Chains A and B, each alone.
Chain A
Amino acid sequence: MAEHEFDVVIVGAGGAGMRAALESSQRARTAVLTKLYPTRSHTGAAQGGMAAALGNVEDDSVEWHVFDTVKGGDYLVDQDAAEILCAEAVDAVLDLEKMGLPFNRTEDGHIDQRRFGGHTRSHGEAAVRRSCYSADRTGHMILQTLYQQCIKQEVEFFNEYYVLDLVLTEDPQAAAPGAEVAVAGVVALELSTGEIHTFRAKSVIFATGGAGKVFKTTSNAHTLTGDGMAIALRAGLPLEDMEFFQFHPTGLAGLGILLSEAARGEGAILRNSEGERFMERYAPTIKDLAPRDVVARAMANEVREGRGAGPNKDYVLLDLTHLEPAHIDEKLPDITEFARTYLGVEPYTEPVPVYPTAHYAMGGIPTNVQGEVLRNNTDVVKGLYAAGEVACVSVHGANRLGTNSLLDINVFGRRAGIAAADYANATAEAPELPGDASEALAARVGQLKATVGTTGAERIAELRKALQETMDRNVQVFRTAESLAEATGVIEEIKGRYANIAIHDRGSRFNTDLLEAIELGFLIDLSEVVVAGALAREESRGGHYREDFPTRDDEKFMVHTMAYVGADGVRLDHKPVVVTKYQPMERKY
């Protein structure tokens, strides 16, 4: 075992982690621990853009952006946080440009902007050009630019170090309200050697990304297994609003690979098997550019009512054929190549088969606007921060608007980086790591490795498939008490079988078999929380749609869900939504 000590430890090197590192490493001694090489992070898969009311191509205002974000989130957004997100958006974009990000440009040389779902002028009048973009690889350019700046600043990375335990000074559930609970550090597995490392730190920032792999059909990378969320949950911390998962309307049918909403922003149209532009019926004003929850539901409904396209009538069509090929090549080169490579479809001349794909967790580790992690509705864990998809601030409420996540990682990654470094600098010494800090992980690894050669044991891949399939079948766009009860039963069964899994790799170096076993454990824990929250929320709001409760119920449910896991399983509580300016209204587009 090796021991390290830093002022600030950042877990995860995607957009939020590296944006935090750029701030933190200027102020305090910082280490970035990452399961993947930084440039492999899934921020790089984001396509369409980053929202900011620059007003470079038409009138726009921060206030309109706030309104759209609150309405898009179906009024579950904490409005104070959304105000910060949208107000700081302009500088967040300009900062990236100054770091060298190659945005697309207007004829006069300014950052170009385009339309995106749910972003409107004058509170819903018409779509507005708010997304700052770099072709359809904006996330790639953000990840590259932040990594380049980290190289310039000589940020210290621990690549392929997989953090698996969070060490706190007290059990956050046992500690009395108001009592001090602080972070002491993290425990990590070095993948190349199998060695366990402890990192003592005054501040820890979790920026580990999402958990899309709880579903089978997803735009998310294989590595997005909700590690940070599950580690927090196991450390006794709550997760907020986990029942709200975004299904992106346009995943490549059958594969789930993302086709950016930018396609519709550039003029593409969704059609059913009859060739009808069906979004006119569901969102008469902004049609195909309605928010993702609305479009995904409309698509699923078209398929359910028999108007799906293809031999099995199980998808709809994204039509770009009326766009000029030169325009497509300039603005949407990557996603059209995905259609060619993976479906053999030529988007110049043929419509592309698409269906909703699990895309983004609106929920996560609850934080305040400084990125500090909450251990209940009011108390923070001293020195512990979270930012990006792993966190729930909550700026996305019940449904995130497209281009608000690349914004989120930059605004709240920056804030968390500054706050974590400031806290570290104001703290004389990090709490002592207990002598047995690494023992739990060592025991877990030892236990899993002891299963090598076990006969009659369960296979990781089989259990993962069963889990993901029940989540797709029962917890996707449409949910009912019945479907959620079925999912609960299946998850319970899988949990039992997980106790009996065996791995096959006996080695220490790059034991990716062991890694997948650990990741599956995280996915099971998170699925349980997602389903419990969805079952208890007897209303429909944003990305959470209950067919047995098809309307929004503000009286009972305009509250955040706080899920805790203890010895007795999942316990649900509520946290009030922060409303500053916008009272809930009917959500029409």
Chain B
Amino acid sequence: MTAVAETPANAGTVPTIEVTLRIRRVDPEGTEDSKPGEEYWSQFTVTAHATDRVLDALHKIKWERDGSLAFRRSCAHGVCGSDAMRINGKNRLACKTLLKDLNPARPITVEPIAGLPVEKDLIVDMEPFFASYREIMPFLMTSGPTPERERLQTPEQRARFDDTTKCIMCAACTTACPVFWTDGQYFGPQAIVGAHRFIFDSRDEGQWDRLEILNDKAGVWKCRTAFNCTEACPRGIEVTKAISEVKKALTTGEI
């Protein structure tokens, strides 16, 4: 990635740069150059703007060079959670990572997120991830008659679980977790974030059911506080802190 524009850019115009992407790929059906299921690397050098997203560079490759490159994406601004991938060894959203924020001297490596079965190129099977989320009963549980108006909740009570409501289920945290990589049973950080969002919601009455699930051998005690999840979260959620709060609730019996 070297600057092409020799002269300083005019104010307001962004210089173009050449950027090289090394992409880890696999095609279950095989291609002209690879056997079915065989992993290989593709390298492309494209002209882009420094302010472009990694997603823009991937699109440029797909649209101009190799239409078979497969990846998921939708909103392109970090809210839908489709395009989590491993970029230069770190889990990030391709649409929220700007080229200028990566090391310009070396090729940018792009790989699928780890720990989930790869389906094709950068697309992984998300089903095990969503299955873990479903297990923690991620919905409001209440008893008694349904009130006529809204249930009351003070701004302070609402703030208690605000951080974990931001989750977009991109799986960046879970697939950055070394325990998740090696232990097929572990729910992973995202499911705990999903549980935290309800456990600390003053309206919810299912917290002890959920805590019991998380107290299981596949639950929170697997967490070794590596902080990879917190670092990976593109929404800035303090994932490790949320997990610690769940652990504390289990230890003290208090929420």
Contacts and interface: CB of A to CB of B under 8 A. Distances in A.
B12 A311 contact: yes
Interface in A97-119: 97-100, 102-111
A137 B80 CA distance: 12
B11 A311 contact: yes
A456 to B, nearest CB: 16
B196 interface: no
Contact of A512 (B70, B98, B151): B70
Given A341-B98, A460-B63, A507-B29, A97 B151 contact: yes
A581 B63 CA distance: 52
Contacts of B204: 100
Nearest to B30: A507
Contacts of B137: 152
Interface in A487-514: 503-513
Interface stretch (B118-126, B172-180, B220-228): B118-126
Contacts, number: 160
Given A141-B165, A509-B28, A460 B67 contact: yes
Interface in B148-177: 149-155, 157-158, 161-162, 165-169
A576 B111 CA distance: 55
A317 to B, nearest CB: 14
Nearest to B140: A100
A202 interface: no
A203 interface: no
A460 B64 CA distance: 9
B74 A223 contact: yes
B66 interface: yes
A221 interface: yes
A134 B165 contact: yes
A45 B95 CA distance: 14
A222 B166 contact: no
Contacts of A341: 78, 96, 98
A100 B96 contact: no
A582 interface: no
A27 to B, nearest CB: 19
A111 B158 CA distance: 11
Contacts of A107: 154-155
B68 A504 contact: yes
A584 interface: no
Contacts of A158: none
Contacts of A134: 165
B80 A40 contact: yes
Contacts of B71: 512
A521 to B, nearest CB: 16
A447 interface: no
Interface string A177-212: 000000000000000100000000000000000000
Given A97-B150, A510-B120, A221 B76 contact: yes
B22 interface: no
Contacts of A36: 74, 80, 82
Interface in B116-150: 119-121, 123, 126, 130, 133-134, 137-140, 146-147, 149-150
A108 B77 CA distance: 35
A510 B98 contact: no
Contacts of A94: 149-150
Contacts of A508: 29
B77 A503 contact: no
A45 B150 contact: no
A44 B158 contact: no
A37 B147 CA distance: 32
Contacts of B78: 338, 341
A140 B165 CA distance: 9
A450 B44 CA distance: 26
A510 B70 contact: yes
A496 B82 CA distance: 33
Given A460-B63, A512-B70, A100 B139 contact: yes
B203 interface: yes
Given A508-B29, A509-B29, A44 B165 contact: no
B5 interface: no
Contacts of B72: 40
B79 A140 contact: yes
A107 B140 CA distance: 22
Given A44-B79, A223-B74, A461-B64, A98 B28 contact: no
A107 B159 CA distance: 12
Interface string B42-83: 000000000100000001001110111011111111111110
A175 interface: no
A579 interface: no
B67 A110 contact: no
B251 interface: no
A29 interface: no
A321 interface: no
Contacts of A338: 77-78
A306 B9 CA distance: 23
B201 to A, nearest CB: 7
A148 interface: yes
Given A36-B82, A42-B75, A97-B150, A105 B155 contact: yes
A222 B28 CA distance: 25
A583 interface: no
Nearest to B63: A461
Contacts of A149: 139
A149 B141 CA distance: 11
Contacts of B77: 45, 257, 338, 342
The 10 closest A-B pairs by CB, nearest first: A100-B140, A504-B67, A311-B12, A461-B63, A109-B152, A505-B68, A513-B67, A148-B139, A152-B139, A221-B74
7 contacts: A36-B80, A40-B75, A42-B75, A44-B75, A100-B204, A222-B75, A460-B67
Interface of B: 10-13, 27-29, 31, 51, 59, 62-64, 66-68, 70-82, 96, 98, 119-121, 123, 126, 130, 133-134, 137-140, 146-147, 149-155, 157-158, 161-162, 165-169, 198, 201, 203-204
Interface of A: 36-37, 39-42, 44-45, 94, 97-100, 102-111, 134-135, 137, 140-141, 144, 148-149, 151-152, 192, 221-223, 257, 310-312, 334, 338, 341-342, 344, 459-461, 503-513
Given A94-B150, A134-B165, 4 more contacts: A41-B80, A151-B133, A461-B64, A512-B62
